[in-house]
Amino acid sequence: MIHPETATTHDPLLVQDRTGQTSCFNCIIETYQTQAYNLACRILSDWALAEDALQEALVSAYGSFRQFRGDNLAAWLMRIVANRCRDMLRSQRSRPTSPLDPLPSDLDDPDSIPSALNIPSGGESPEDHAERGDLNRAIQAGLNTLPQEQRLAVLLVDVQGFSYEEAGMTMDCSLGTVKSRVSRGRAGLRDHLRLQGELLPAQFRHED
């Protein structure tokens, strides 16, 4: 992954969008690379592939920045990242992946977890930390069961914190389609978690 210190110690890479606005591409990398990397990790379930996807997406974004209309940079960039991840998934279908350990910068943040699965914030014991890791892995496994478009919609809205409108820009679809994908994705994720039973921490088990 490109590190902010690397991006900012060199002369700025200046890029110009379709409106004629000039931006510092190094600064764009520094601002969005963690968010983009987390999205790639959650789509691909593979750290190495996610890093490759991010690098290739950033190169693509730099080369195509003149096509950006200057409206929503985060949505535009995440769309490039998501599209690159889709391409990699198609090329990697025959290659098995290993389960991810919890991400320290997205689902480990209680405010980033879908509200139906929210974990209380504040100090926690080692046991609580371990349980949160178990839940994180269960959530990732559930995300992996969803169709790609539902998974991306849930990630954008519930993990990345995008509005439905921003998610629609990223996915290039209508507001109604985004809402439908998020709703179905959330339902699929909840169903998966309810089936885990004893694998989930006690407070998240579904009681009949």
Reported as a single tens digit per residue, the pLDDT across 128-166 is 667 667 777 888 889 999 999 999 999 999 999 999 999
Question: What's the CATH class of domain 99-203?
Answer: mainly alpha
Rounded distance, CA 129 to CA 148, Å?
A: 29
Classify domain 1-96 by CATH number. Answer: 1.10.1740.10
pLDDT given for residue 107 in this prediction: 41
Rounded distance, CA 92 to CA 107, Å?
A: 25
> Which run of H or of E encompasses 16?
strand 14-16
Dump pLDDT digits (tens) for 13-40: 899 999 899 999 999 999 999 999 999 9
Rounded distance, CA 150 to CA 145, Å?
A: 10
> In which residue are the tokens 């606005």 written?
21
Give residue 198's pLDDT band: very low, low, confident or very high (50, 70, 90): low
Phi then psi for residue 120, to 5 deg, are -55, 140
Residue extent(s) of CATH 1.10.1740.10 domains in the chain: 1-96
Q: What is the pTM of this model?
A: 0.72
pLDDT given for residue 200 in this prediction: 57
> In which residue are the tokens 């190169």 written?
59
Residue extent(s) of CATH 1.10.10.10 domains in the chain: 99-203
